[in-house]
Structure 1
Amino acid sequence: MSSSPLSSVEAARAAVAARLLAIMRDAGLTGHELATRCGWHKSKSSRIARGRTPPSDADIRAWCAACGAEDQIADLLASSRNAASMYVEWKRIHRDGMRRVHEQTVPLYQRTRNFRVYASNLVPGMLQTAEYATGLLRSITDFQRTPDDVADAVRARLNRSSVVRQGDHRFALLLEEAVLRYRVSDNAAMAGQLSYLLSVMARPNVSLGVIPFSARRTVWPLEAFYAFDDAQVAVETLTAEINVTAPSEIRTYLRAFGDLSKIAVFGSEARGRITEAIGSLG
């Protein structure tokens, strides 16, 4: 099992670096000679070849031209851009506020038939109430110091969440019990959010499990992740969203989801955990 959600990003970047190194060696050049041909500092080619510095589009073009491998530019550019798109910083995603990213992901939500979501820190976005989402998005905006469009972003999030009630979509969701206890918003909003979980659990297209504090762990707590069919997994870290598309990586996340499901409780026992959390709000 992957020890970090960055593994697929690192692997993609390493593959680009390895291909550039092979091109340089096939051309019979040293790193110093290549840097000289490209007009770079002597250490730049070494940093790129070892994967320490991701190459820009211009770097790839210059590298291939210096090695007489112009025919490989297009393929390398595509591979490099794919590696870069897998890791997207939240500050870049939210540079104009958060409403736009919610609107941009509506097509992904609409075409996904089977959602598998593991939440270790927050109620998943598609199950959030307006009040809970407002508290959460307000704290994100303040922390990231990005433009304040919280009200618009909440409306966009709720609109995107309509897939729970409309269309042919199925949701399998696993929440660590801690998610029920984290005070993301005030007590009234938390009570409303937890009550909504009780309500949505009754839907035939929703399976919601809670992983108890006392569960004997066979899989350690992970970063929150969203699996969209078998095509993509989005992993959330503090600074970025990582989009995993490599089939082997997706299979690893789905295997983790399956193992986590085995230690979760469902039905009346899950409802009991949620009800206890509501009672703790006082």
Structure 2
Amino acid sequence: MRSQSSSVQQARQGLADRLREIRLGAGLTGARLAALAGWHRTKISKIEYVVISPSADDIRAWCNHCGQPELIPDLVATLNAVEGMFVEWRRLERTGLRVVQDSMTPLWERTRTFRIYSSFVVPGPVQTRSYTVAVLRALAARRRIPDDIEAATRVREERQRFLHEGDHRFAIVLEESVLRNAIGGVETMTGQLGHLLAVSSLPSISLGIVPQNADRSATWPIESFWMYDEKQVGVELVSGYLTITQPTEISMYAGMFAEQTAVAVYGAAARSLISEALAAFDNTMR
């Protein structure tokens, strides 16, 4: 499955345009380059019109036959970057969950303002240990990946230090339904909601809840996403992880976050919604 994100498409088109420039600069027709490389005659046009993506070997052959082998390292690096914008979970998590969690730490370190919208689960920075274990256990089972849940959980817990150190700021907006999704069972949810009440008072956190009865005429629940300053957006899709870096598309997500913020409640009103959800879970335990 290929993402239709404009960031990904724009990056692929940029690589294809560069390859076309190299071919034209070498004075080769598409048919001639295909013949030199031993490819089907339509392969050149499919690459240049982004019907298919070139492989690293394709780029090497392309540059060698066009007399510019010195361009190979940069173009292969570009290809790797483009392919990394959308990565399937089975590729990311082939050795388990811990490696993926570790890979996010440098991004957290250099980010100052996190904007997080979640329509499904309580996000990692404000999760309890038992809630994290429940989430990761479900992911591991669904995606049939190696069980390194304890190691991955430790990485997530360690990353929560950013709530308390440096000048990191977390603006979090949750749908009210997130408070009532019984992830990990009733006991886990009571602990999680109590924790959410506690951390909502931290100076590094701004917590908004979109009430279930809010007027959603102008905006509605969408896929969860994370914004890292104004530099990139991360979206967890069913099939993989999407990284968005195209400025106009980042602006779209910033606008969407602002819309969700506008219908969310904060402070005492948000704590009241959390307390109501907590009371509902408490009642089921009696």
Q: Same fold (TM over 0.5)?
A: yes
Identity of aligned residues (%): 43
- What corresponds to 2:268 in structure 1? 268
Change in 2 beyond 3 A, CA 1:277/1:62: same
- What corresponds to 2:278 in structure 1? 278
Task: Find out whether 1:222 has 2:222 as its counterpart.
Answer: yes
Aligned partner of residue 207 in structure 1, secondary structure: strand
Aligned partner of residue 234 in structure 2, secondary structure: strand
- What corresponds to 1:100 in structure 2? 99
Change in 2 beyond 3 A, CA 1:188/1:5: farther
Cα distance in 1 for partners of 2:82, 2:70 equals: 20
Query: How far did 1:72 drift?
Result: 4.3
CA deviations 1:25-48 (Å, max 9, x no partner) are: 454544333221111233332322
* Two-structure CA RMSD over aligned residues (Å): 2.1
Query: How far did 1:69 drift?
Result: 4.3
- What corresponds to 1:12 in structure 2? 11
Query: How far did 1:187 drift?
Result: 1.0
Query: How far did 1:170 drift?
Result: 1.2
Cα distance in 2 for partners of 1:221, 1:17 equals: 36
Cα distance in 1 for partners of 2:96, 2:224 equals: 22
Contact 1:34-1:63 within 8 A present in 2 as well: yes
Cα distance in 1 for partners of 2:71, 2:98 equals: 39
Structure 1's unaligned 5+ residue stretches are: none
Contact 2:172-2:206 within 8 A present in 1 as well: yes
Cα distance in 2 for partners of 1:80, 1:127 equals: 36
Query: How far did 1:116 drift?
Result: 1.0
CA deviations 1:196-224 (Å, max 9, x no partner) are: 11111111221000112233333343322
Q: Supply the AA of the counterpart residue of 1:149.
A: D
Aligned partner of residue 280 in structure 1, secondary structure: helix
- What corresponds to 1:139 in structure 2? 138
- What corresponds to 1:258 in structure 2? 258
CA deviations 1:231-253 (Å, max 9, x no partner) are: 22211111211222233332222
Q: Supply the AA of the counterpart residue of 1:35.
A: A
Aligned partner of residue 242 in structure 1, secondary structure: strand
- What corresponds to 1:248 in structure 2? 248
- What corresponds to 2:127 in structure 1? 128
Contact 1:102-1:160 within 8 A present in 2 as well: no
Cα distance in 2 for partners of 1:216, 1:276 equals: 20
Structure 2's unaligned 5+ residue stretches are: none
Contact 1:17-1:50 within 8 A present in 2 as well: yes
Q: Supply the AA of the counterpart residue of 2:197.
A: L
- What corresponds to 1:203 in structure 2? 202
Aligned length: 279
Cα distance in 1 for partners of 2:31, 2:88 equals: 33
Contact 2:6-2:246 within 8 A present in 1 as well: no
Query: How far did 1:71 drift?
Result: 5.3
Cα distance in 1 for partners of 2:176, 2:29 equals: 55
Query: How far did 1:126 drift?
Result: 1.0
TM-score normalized with structure 2 length: 0.89
- What corresponds to 1:161 in structure 2? 160
Cα distance in 2 for partners of 1:5, 1:44 equals: 22
- The list of structure 1 runs, each at least 4 consecutive aligned residues, that deviate by more than 6 angstroms after superposition, is none
Q: Supply the AA of the counterpart residue of 2:241.
A: E
Q: Supply the AA of the counterpart residue of 1:169.
A: H
Query: How far did 1:115 drift?
Result: 1.2
- What corresponds to 1:39 in structure 2? 38
- What corresponds to 1:89 in structure 2? 88
